A and B are shown apart, each in its own frame.
Chain A
Amino acid sequence: DAGVIQSPRHEVTEMGQEVTLRCKPISGHDYLFWYRQTMMRGLELLIYFNNNVPIDDSGMPEDRFSAKMPNASFSTLKIQPSEPRDSAVYFCASSLAGDRGMYEQYFGPGTRLTVT
């Protein structure tokens, strides 16, 4: 398997613009996660899905952030409008489900977002 695929790998945009990050999880995985990583705040869980349904979005910082998973092989994280403080590396991860919930997560390479 190719692993978790994220695009784009780098995104530079101006404040106020809409940004869409994309993720393709590992085939057959039941869970999909979106994380944000910054020097100041470390690794933060934004939202996660189980079988395409959002389960916990308590980490989404503001209404400017939204995430969708229209099918088992694709998810998007959208920021509209973007602000400089959104600059970070955004990771997507996926995992299988077992008898006791999710197993270990497999991370994508990340999207480095810079908002100027």
Chain B
Amino acid sequence: AQSVTQLDSQVPVFEEAPVELRCNYSSSVSVYLFWYVQYPNQGLQLLLKYLSGSTLVKGINGFEAEFNKSQTSFHLRKPSVHISDTAEYFCAVRGYSSASKIIFGSGTRLSIRP
């Protein structure tokens, strides 16, 4: 079975500052990893995903994440945030098995200060 931990429930940053949202996972098998974003009053939408290959994954809106197998982490980063990035961000993990389902973290609320 898999589990995912998002270490920060809230992250406040100033506009144009860099940000990192942390995600660690636990699994006894190889995994797929995802980051989703939820804007206020909307459903979740996929930001980026890691399936295989390069450990640095680029997503929409200037976000990127790096898969670190040794540290079982998949942290999300953006070099310069904008007010429009204010949202809740969910990390998710899924095992390679065809029977595996996607497990979501508890979410990190990113608030941008002008």
Hey, which bits of chain A sit against chain B, CB under 8 A? 4, 42-43, 45, 48, 56, 91, 93, 99-102, 104-110
Contacts and interface: CB of A to CB of B under 8 A. Distances in A.
B40 to A, nearest CB: 11
A61 to B, nearest CB: 17
**Tier of interface size on chain B:** 20 to 34
Given A107-B45, A108-B43, A102 B97 contact: no
A109 B102 contact: no
A4 B46 CA distance: 14
B45 A45 contact: no
A101 B98 contact: yes
A98 to B, nearest CB: 9
Contact of A101 (B36, B43, B99): B99
A-B pairs with lowest CB-CB distance, top 10: A107-B43, A101-B98, A107-B44, A42-B106, A109-B43, A104-B46, A43-B104, A110-B43, A108-B43, A100-B98
